Structure 1
Amino acid sequence: MANPNLECRMYEAKYPEVDMAVMIQVHHITETGVYVSLLEYNNMEGIIPLSELSRRRIRSVSSLIKVGHQEPAIVLRVNKEKGYIDLSKKTVSEEDVQACEEQYNKSKLVHSIMRHVAEIHSIDVEELYTTIGWPLYRKYGHAYEAFKLIATDPDSILNFLTKEAGPDGEEVTKVVAAVTEDVKDTLVKNIRHRMMPQPVKIRADIEIRCYQFDGVLHIQKALRKAESFGNEDCPVKIKLVTAPLYVLTTQTLDKNQGISVLTNAIKACSEEIEKYKGKLVIKEAARVVGEREDKLLAEQMEKMWLQN
C-alpha cells in the first residue's frame, strides 16, 4: 500500500460510553459551548455546553478552559446516528482525572507504536489494530499490559494471535498467524525501544555528627551499617560532600523499592550513631533525582574540595 491510512481511533468501540471519562482537546469557544476533539477516538468532535463547564457561576469562560488544552471530560450523551457527543467538565472528579490520564497515556504510547509499525510496513493502522491491537485489548484489558509482556517474551503473546483466511468469495479454509514475521520483528523492536524500564537514581542527603572519643570511627561504622541495607538490585552508596554532610544513592528499576531501601538504611544508620551519643539529621529525604541534580552535586563537591 503506497499511502497507508495512519489515522484511527485507539479503541475497538467507535464511540465512548455514557459516563465514561475521555481525554479531550479544546478547539474553539462559542456563545453556546466549547467545541473539542476526543483524542482517543480519532479526534471525533464533541461539545461541552457552557452549563457543563462549572458548578459555580461563570464569570469568564477563558478562566475555566483554554484553546489547545488537553483535559478529561465526562460523556453525557452520544448520538451515534448524527455523530453528536455532549460532554461535561463540571462532573469530573479527582479520581476521574487520575484514571483518565493514566489510561490516555498508556493508550497514546500504544497508538504511537502501532502507527510507527503501520507506516514502516505501509499498512493501514486500523488493519493493524484489528489483527493485533484490539485483540490484545480484549484479552489483557489494555494493549499496554500485553506490550509489557511482549517486551520480554513476544512469542508467548503474539503467536496466539490468529485470523481466518480463505480465497475471496469462498468459505474460510484455514487459520493463519495474524502477524507476519517482519511486522512482528518491527513491533517487538519498537516495544522494547519504547517500553523497556530504565533505572532511576534515588538520593537522600543527611548530616551525621558524633563528638565522642573516636567519633570518626563511630560515624564510619554507622555508614557501613547503612550500606549493608543495599542489595544486588538496589545497592546503597555513600559519598562525603563535606563533613558533616553525606549523600546516599542507589539505582534501581523499582522506584518504590529504592526509596524504601534508602529510608531503611538511614533509619539503621541513625540508630547506630545514637549508640555513641551521635546524631543524624535528614536534610533531604529519599527521592528520585535526575541529571541536573547530579550535576549540581558534582559542582558542589568540587567547590568544597577547592575550598579545603
Structure 2
Amino acid sequence: MVSISDTKKLPELGEIVIVTVKEVTGHGAYVTLDEYDNLTAFLHISEIATGWIRNIERYVKPKQKTVLKVIRVNPTRSEVDLSLKQVTGEEKKSKIIEVKKDEKGANFMDIIKTKLGYDLNQIKEIEEKIAQKYDFIYDAFEAVAIKGPDVLASLDLKPEVIEAIEAESKKIQIPHIEVRALLEITVRKGNGIDIIKNVLSSVEGSKNNSKVDITYVGAPRYRITVTAENFKIAEKALNQAIEKIKTSIEKNSGTFKFLREESKKTHTNI
C-alpha cells in the first residue's frame, strides 16, 4: 500500500475513480487519482484480473487512464488500494459518462466566463444555482438543448446568463431514439390511394417531443419512423400513430398489417 499525505482528501470505500497509471511493477501498479489532485494509490496484481497474469501491461500500461474501484481506505495511515477486476462494465460506462459531463460542463462555463466577463466568484454562484436542480452542470445545458431555456426559469439566473447558456447548448448533439415499423395497407376503392395518403399525412409531423415520418417503400408497403429523445416517448408515439392509421383504414374497408423493425440511436434533431 502507498502512503498519502494526511492533509489530502481520500476517496470513499467502494467509490469508482478515474486513474492514470504511473508505474507498473512485478506485483502491481502505482496510479494517481485524477479527481484527488493526482494522489498516488496502489493496484495489486491480485486485483487486476482473475487467474494467473503473465504480463501486467496487457491490462494496465504507464500513462494509461482507466477506471478502478476503491477497495480499501486507511485514513489513519492515509493508504488507498484499488481494484480493476471488481469494476463492472456498467460502473465503468457510468463513470466515463460522469467524467465527460464534468469536462464538458467546465468547458461551457469557461466560455460563458469569458463571454460575459465574469470572475470566478460569479461563475461559482451560477454553478451553485444550477446544482439546485441538476446533478451535473452539463445536464442544464443539455436540458436547454432539448426543451429550451424555460427549464432554467426557477433558478433565478440573470437573462444574460440564460442567453449565454442557450447559445452554448446549441453545440450539443442530442441523441435520439428511432423506432420503425413496416406497414402494409390496401384500400380497394377507386380513390383508395388518396385515402391512404390522407390517413398517413394525418399522423406525420412533430408532436409531444417526437417526430413521425412516413416513406413509401413499394405498394402496398410504407415505413413509419418515429424519432424522440428516449425510447418511452418514441414507443408511445409509434403506437398511437399505428392505432390511428389502423382505425382510419379499417373504417374505409381497407386492410392493415404492420411489422416492427429494429430501433436505433441517432443524432437527428427534431
What is the TM-score normalised by the length of structure 2?
A: 0.64
Are 1:258 and 2:258 counterparts? no
Are 1:224 and 2:205 counterparts? no
Residue 25 of structure 2 aligns with which residue?
30
Q: How does 1:159-174 map to 2 (within 5 A)?
A: none
CA distance in 1, matches of 2:184, 2:195: 10
Aligned length: 251
Are 1:280 and 2:258 counterparts? yes
Residue 157 of structure 1 aligns with which residue?
155
Displacement of 1:86 after TM fit? 2.5
1:289 corresponds to which letter in structure 2?
Answer: T
Displacement of 1:53 after TM fit? 0.8
Contact persistence 2:215–2:224 (CA under 8 A): yes
CA distance in 1, matches of 2:21, 2:198: 54
Residue 166 of structure 1 aligns with which residue?
none
Displacement of 1:79 after TM fit? 6.2
Decide whether aligned partners of structure 1 residues 219 and 92 sit closer, same or farther in structure 2, where only a CA change above 3 A counts: farther
CA distance in 2, matches of 1:98, 1:116: 27
CA distance in 2, matches of 1:123, 1:86: 39
CA distance in 2, matches of 1:243, 1:79: 71
SS in 2 for 1:58: coil
CA distance in 1, matches of 2:190, 2:64: 58
CA distance in 2, matches of 1:285, 1:123: 50
Choose which of 244, 263, 266 in structure 2 pairs with 1:289.
Answer: 266
Contact persistence 1:209–1:279 (CA under 8 A): yes
CA distance in 2, matches of 1:50, 1:134: 41
Residue 99 of structure 2 aligns with which residue?
104
Deviation track 1:230-270 (CA, whole Å, cap 9, x = no partner) reads: 76333423121333442323454555312431244346646
Unaligned runs of 5+ in 1: 1-12, 160-180, 292-308
Displacement of 1:135 after TM fit? 7.5
Contact persistence 2:105–2:138 (CA under 8 A): no
CA distance in 2, matches of 1:145, 1:77: 31
Displacement of 1:208 after TM fit? 1.5
What is the TM-score normalised by the length of structure 1?
A: 0.58
Contact persistence 1:113–1:191 (CA under 8 A): no
Deviation track 1:65-120 (CA, whole Å, cap 9, x = no partner) reads: 45565443112344679875431112223453354334333323223234445566
SS in 1 for 2:207: coil
Decide whether aligned partners of structure 1 residues 153 and 204 sit closer, same or farther in structure 2, where only a CA change above 3 A counts: closer
Per mean C-alpha deviation after superposition, the further-off stretch among 260-269 and 47-56 is 260-269
CA distance in 2, matches of 1:128, 1:44: 29
Residue 92 of structure 1 aligns with which residue?
87
Choose which of 140, 144, 156 in structure 2 pairs with 1:147.
Answer: 140
CA distance in 2, matches of 1:286, 1:239: 16
Contact persistence 1:202–1:286 (CA under 8 A): yes
Decide whether aligned partners of structure 1 residues 245 and 146 sit closer, same or farther in structure 2, where only a CA change above 3 A counts: closer
Q: How does 1:165-204 map to 2 (within 5 A)?
A: 185=160, 189-190=164-165, 192-194=167-169, 198=174, 200=176, 202-204=178-180
Choose which of 46, 51, 55 in structure 1 pairs with 2:46.
Answer: 51
Per mean C-alpha deviation after superposition, the further-off stretch among 267-276 and 104-113 is 267-276
Contact persistence 1:199–1:251 (CA under 8 A): no
CA distance in 2, matches of 1:62, 1:215: 73
Decide whether aligned partners of structure 1 residues 186 and 30 sit closer, same or farther in structure 2, where only a CA change above 3 A counts: farther
CA distance in 1, matches of 2:52, 2:197: 60
CA distance in 1, matches of 2:194, 2:183: 11
CA distance in 2, matches of 1:189, 1:273: 49
Unaligned runs of 5+ in 2: 1-7
Decide whether aligned partners of structure 1 residues 118 and 205 sit closer, same or farther in structure 2, where only a CA change above 3 A counts: same
Percent sequence identity over matched residues? 20
